Structure formats: C-alpha cells, structure tokens
Amino acid sequence: MVKMIVVVLLMLAGHRSLAFEEIAEERLFPPLHPNCTQSLTDLLLLRQEAQLNRMAAAQEATTELLKASLEALVQVRDSLKAEEHTPATVKCLSPFTQVRDSCLLLALHELHTWASARQYCGRYGADLVHFSDVNAYVAILDYINTINQQRKSVNVWIGGSDEAVEDTWVWITGELMPRGPPFWGTKDGYRPQPSDGRSQNCAILWQPDQYYMHDVSCTYKAVPLCQI
C-alpha cells in the first residue's frame, strides 16, 4: 500500500514537472503571430519609404544649391560683360596707367620705406594702392606683371597697415582690409599671413610668394604702387 502511494505521488510530481516545462517553453518561444510576416513586410516598406523620402529631400536641396550657384555665376558674368561695355570715365595722365577705375603707377626703380613711399606717391597727388575685392586685386597683379616684364625681383608697397591697432588691418582710407585667402599669402608655405606681430605693421605684395600680401616692417624698402 505504501509503495502504491509513493508511485502515485511520483507520477503526480512528474506530471507537474512536465506541465511546468511546457509553460516555460511557451514563455521562451511564444507562438508565431499569424500576421508576423505581414507586419515585417509593412515595417520594411515603411523603412524603404522613409529612406526614399530622405534621398528625395537631399536631391532637392542639392538642386536648389546648384541653382543658387548658377545664378551667382550668371550675375558675375553679366557684371563682367557690363564692365567691358561701359565706356571709361577715368582719364589717366602719364606716367599713370588706367587699371579698371583707377590710375596706377608702379615705380620700379624707386626703393622706399612705407612712409616715404606714401610721400613719393603724394608728389603726384596720389597715395599707395588699396583694393576691396578679388577682381581689383587680380587687375593690380596683371598690371604689375605687365610693367615688370623682365620679372625684376621687387616687392611692392600697398596702402595697408595695423600700426594704429595691432592686428586690425586697415587701408589708408580707413576701410578694413580683406583677410585670408586669396589676398594674404603664407610664410614658409604654412604660416598664414599676417603673422609677425608688433614688429611688422605694414602690408606689402611679396614677390617670392607670387605677390600675395604679407606683413613686414614699415622700415623695409620696396617699390611704391601709387593710385589716383
């Protein structure tokens, strides 16, 4: 009798153990939802649609940027054409040469400090050259290379300095000078100009650096580029 009771208890315990294992297995591996495949497909479609929308937005932004760049180039082209067809209103007397809307004189055979270069230009009612944009800067470089056809190694004074306030570079007109490329060059190929602090307060077109602007001592001697 006792043995029979023990056997019954063991059978009941085994049955409960199997039931517990079935419940645990159901929790670890829940049954596959009937619409699982459909849900996964919908998710992939939504992701693909979102990616396509992002690509379309990026393409639209790129197109707008290209349109803006094209409009800017067209404006530059039209302004250059207008300048070509605009009759000159500046009358330059010898030894000055007309360059855009200014009269320039590069005194190749004169060596002066920055202050005495201004005095030299003053004899002609002029002053050291200044410019405000890339087009004027390029025109000045073309003029220098035209006058200096023999490629004489000369540096050229221009009318800019930071003597009044350190590192605030201004033209002789009181206007701020442009900074950075494509106006200012580099020293030793890596140090951007201007870079030499309080010891060098006058601006020059530096011949060894393809006539990019550099800062040098105002007592350095170079040739004046006068402008009326």
* Residuewise pLDDT in 10s, the chain (228 residues): 544 443 334 444 444 443 444 444 444 444 545 555 566 677 677 777 777 787 777 777 667 766 766 676 666 566 666 655 544 577 999 999 999 999 999 999 999 999 999 999 999 999 999 999 999 999 999 999 999 988 889 999 999 999 999 999 999 999 999 999 999 999 877 789 998 788 999 999 999 999 999 999 999 999 999 999
Spatial separation of the C-alpha atoms in residues 108 and 114, rounded to whole Å: 15
Bridge-partner residues for 157, per DSSP?
A: 204, 224
pLDDT of residue 160: 98
Q: What is the pLDDT of residue 16?
A: 46
Contacts of 102 (CB under 8 A, 6+ apart): 90, 129, 227, 228
The rounded distance, in Å, linking the Cα atoms of 117 and 105 is 12
Pairing of strands 212-216, 223-227: unpaired
Give dist(CA 204, CA 222) in Å, integer: 8
Q: Which fold has domain 97-227?
A: Mannose-Binding Protein A; Chain A (3.10.100)
Q: Residue 31: its pLDDT value, please?
A: 52
Do the beta carbons of residue 206 and residue 144 sit within 8 Å? no
100 Cβ contact partners less than 8 Å away, ≥ 6 residues apart: 83, 135, 136, 139
Q: Within 13 Å and on the Cβ side, how many CA atoms surround 66? A: 6
How far CA 139 is from CA of 1, 35, 41, 94, 219, in Å, comes to 121, 74, 65, 19, 27
pTM: 0.61
| Per-residue pLDDT, 25 | 43
Local structure of residue 188 (DSSP, 8 states): T
What distance in Å separates the CA atoms of residue 199 and residue 192, rounded to the nearest whole number? 16
Q: How many helices (H) and strands (E) does the chain have?
A: 4, 10
102 pairs with which residues across the strands? 99
Nearest to 162 by CA among 176, 152, 150: 176
Quick one: tokens of 1?
A: 């009798």
Q: Where are the domains of the chain?
A: 34-86, 97-227
- DSSP class of 33: P
